[in-house]
Amino acid sequence: MASVTSVQSSDAPADVFEEKTRLDITGSAQDNDEESLSETTQVDTNDDVLKSLGSVEGEKLLAFLDHIRNAYELDTGSLDLPQLVVVGGTSCGKSSLLQALTNLPFPVENGICTLFPTETMIHRCDPFVQPHYSITVEKNGSSLHRFKPREYSGEKWSDVSLRLRKDLEEVFAELHAPITNADAGGRNRLNHLREEVLKVNVYKHDQAHFSVIDIPGLVSGGSGADQKISERLARNYICKERAIVLAVMPAVDDIHNQAVLRLVREEGAMHRTIGVITKCDMLQTHDEPKTLELLKNRTPEYRLKLGWFAVRNRTTDEIQNGLSYRDRDDRESQLFSRKPWSSLNTSCVGVSNLKKCLSGTLYRLVQKSFPGIQNDISERLESSKRDLDALGPPRDTWRLQKYYLDDIQTQYDGLARKWLMGTYREDCSSDDSSKLRVRLHALDAKFRTQLERNGMEYRYLAPEDANRRLQELHYMEFPNDWEAKILATDDIFSWILRMWNDNHGDGLWYKAPVDFEGMLWKVQIKSWGSFARDYFSEASRMIQGFSDILLEETCPEPTIRSKIRRYLQEQNSIAIRRAEDELATILNELGHMRTYNRDFMAELHDRQKALNTSFHYIGDNKLRLIISTYQDLCSFQKIALWRFLDNVIIQVVERHLLGAPGLVFCFSVHWIRGLSEKEMDDIAGEDTEQRQKRNALQTEVRELEEILRDSKMLQYK
């Protein structure tokens, strides 16, 4: 990952891009007073990419663009949506910068990450959806058939991140192989660069929407074909008016030899380009003056309206030796605190400041471009309608699509019941997501143990300890001293007596406070609600993961799985809400000491009989009532605890989450029958070429209309 120092020009024009830089990042670059600099020095330590846009409108706009890119199936390439594009020469540190910006485990070995465009999109997912990702490769907007897509979901982001690292390493290795093409003369030539686009979609909780494109490094040597491919790919992205370009170049190279600046200038993108200088710790002394001038944005021919940033990436040795990010930050700070770097404006140091710079720039770009995007959507909608009309009426194949979904659902239902009955896959560990019953039994036991060990504010005494405690009062010898002796200890009897004294109302002194036992019971069980909600949350995640792996086993097509999940999301949310309402009802009624359990009545009778036998000599009515209250609480606790466990486990989890239509069985025959023809067609459309084209156009028209309608409802300035 990278750390960044930003120094901006004091006389750059104030358009939509540069205005962000001066206002959001460095403050007034014309004021070099040390006190002013210290007041504007802020380091954003938030790991969430572009999370703090500082504007509700900014989040809405980026979320809307993210929705266009991913919630719909249409090809958004021609819409020219705002995006970040990272461009630079080979081995210039782009991959480390990309890793720093996305906080994703991209490999950073030399040469691997620069062979193909990488489009990384990070999305915010529903709280009840597990973190997950998908990796695909596309060429000309279509999936590459020989490439096997990767996808994975897990309960914890840390597990998903480890799996993502492994999959990315495999994908990069797979796409790293050189390819052979025929040139104009029919001769075979070997290319290393590829024009396929690697698309990485990551879904996390509490994650702002973010998208960035990493372009293969501009080739200065090697085959002429690779040079042409690298430049063509870079131009294809730089030329887009709604792209923010991050021009990355190492400090050790001559600025005049940087092809990226030539391309940026030729494509007219200087006003929307941010310069990033890497490898500053390797700069030779005689090259420092021109680099500092560049960072101060004083070199006329390379002046960028968005300014320049200086970067210190981790070295190869540091990566291999496992240098932590904190240690990296310390070394970066030490570097830029020494001469000659200390002469720069140091008000913004660290990769978080680059993110803040990008967030402000991106928001203003989206805000400025939004009317144009709406116009592009309208034009494309009219074009798609004309193409759809030219195809004529579609064929009616919804019955076949229903049969297809019915078959998936039958397998899904059968496998779910098989696993829930305890017949599992071979060679899977006890914590495998398919072993839901095993995992829920363990979770139930944990819930019970928490209530038994930590569910009471004041622990009840064993019968022999309680008797000994009362005998130590020596009531017959000192009948007037029992209250002081109880208060001198710190046990449940002392608590009951204090509550009596603190809440006594109008009446004789030996009369108990109003609803005294109910008052004590509510205090005793006040932690039960927290334990129950934690149990419910963990059970929900387990069951959702069980449903996801069932769908993976029974539906081999990732696109179909994704659509089924999307359409079932509302049903899942309804099931969760029903379960939450049931839990809330149980918790609201928990404070009532009420039961018809015969065992409870029998135990109370036996306890009262024992009290009369062992302590018949106690004549003080207040003491007898305190002892009786203790006995009532102790007996009722045994009944209430198991009843509460049964209610939460059976009524909330088993009934609402595992029952029909819960998180598992909401994918049912009844649900399929309720799908409209359009929904059925969208989920399980036929694969013939004509049908694919018709379906694509129908979907595009519908989605463009939805996007256009939603865009008109979006409030922006």
21-31 per-position pLDDT tens digit: 333 333 333 33
Q: 433 and 534 share a domain?
A: yes
pLDDT of residue 373 exceeding 80: yes
Q: How far is CA 168 from the centre of its chain?
A: 19
Residue 521 lies in a domain: yes
Q: Under a CB-based contact definition with an 8 Å cutoff, are residues 541 and 159 in contact?
A: no
pLDDT of residue 538 exceeding 90: yes
Residues 6+ apart with CB under 8 A from 442: none
In single-letter form, the type of residue at position 310 comes to A
pLDDT of residue 715 exceeding 60: no
The number of helix segments (H) and strand segments (E) in the chain equals: 24, 13
Q: 197 and 326 share a domain?
A: no
8-state DSSP, 216: P
Q: Which domain, by its residues, includes 101?
A: 83-114+215-349
Q: What is the pLDDT of residue 221?
A: 59
Residue 482 lies in a domain: yes
Beta-carbon count within 10 A of 544 CB: 20
Q: 538 and 479 share a domain?
A: yes
Token pair belonging to 605: 């009778």
Report how far residue 485's alpha carbon sits from residue 41's, in angstroms, rounded to the nearest whole number.
62
Q: What is the pLDDT of residue 543?
A: 95
Q: 323 and 426 share a domain?
A: no
Q: What is the pLDDT of residue 311?
A: 77
Residue 484 lies in a domain: yes
Say which residue the tokens 């086993």 belong to. Answer: 553
- Choice between 247 and 614, residue whose per-residue pLDDT is larger: 247
ω into 340 cis (within 30 of 0): yes
Q: 243 and 97 share a domain?
A: yes
Phi, psi of 116 (to 5 degrees): -155, 150
294-322 per-position pLDDT tens digit: 888 888 888 888 888 887 877 778 777 87
pLDDT bucket at 398, cuts 50 / 70 / 90: confident
Residue 161 lies in a domain: yes
Residue 303 lies in a domain: yes
Q: Is 685 exposed, middle or buried (0-12, 13-18, 19+ CB in 10 A)?
A: buried
Q: Which helix (H) or strand (E) holds 309?
A: strand 308-313
Token pair belonging to 715: 């409030």
pLDDT bucket at 187, cuts 50 / 70 / 90: very low
- Choice between 68 and 343, residue whose per-residue pLDDT is larger: 343
Q: 157 and 291 share a domain?
A: no
Count of domains for the chain: 3
32-48 per-position pLDDT tens digit: 333 332 333 233 334 45
543-564 per-position pLDDT tens digit: 999 999 999 999 987 888 999 9
Report how far residue 75's alpha carbon sits from residue 68's, in angstroms, rounded to the nearest whole number.
10
Mean pLDDT of 190-217: 78
Q: 171 and 259 share a domain?
A: no
- Choice between 372 and 414, residue whose per-residue pLDDT is larger: 414
Report how far residue 514's alpha carbon sits from residue 520's, in angstroms, rounded to the nearest whole number.
11
8-state DSSP, 253: S
8-state DSSP, 89: B
Of 321, 349, 377, the domain-final residue: 349
Q: 509 and 617 share a domain?
A: yes
Q: What is the pLDDT of residue 440?
A: 94
Residue 74 lies in a domain: no
Q: What is the pLDDT of residue 356?
A: 75
pLDDT of residue 253 exceeding 80: yes
Report how far residue 258's alpha carbon sits from residue 432's, in angstroms, rounded to the nearest whole number.
52
Q: 479 and 531 share a domain?
A: yes
Residue 707 lies in a domain: no
Report how far residue 78's alpha carbon sits from residue 80's, in angstroms, rounded to the nearest whole number.
5
- Choice between 674 and 560, residue whose per-residue pLDDT is larger: 674
Residue 690 lies in a domain: no
Report how far residue 280's alpha carbon sits from residue 291's, in angstroms, rounded to the nearest whole number.
9
Report how far residue 697's alpha carbon sits from residue 100's, in angstroms, rounded to the nearest whole number.
39
Q: 135 and 108 share a domain?
A: no
79-114 per-position pLDDT tens digit: 677 888 999 888 888 888 777 777 777 776 654 445
Q: 584 and 624 share a domain?
A: yes
Phi, psi of 367 (to 5 degrees): -60, -45
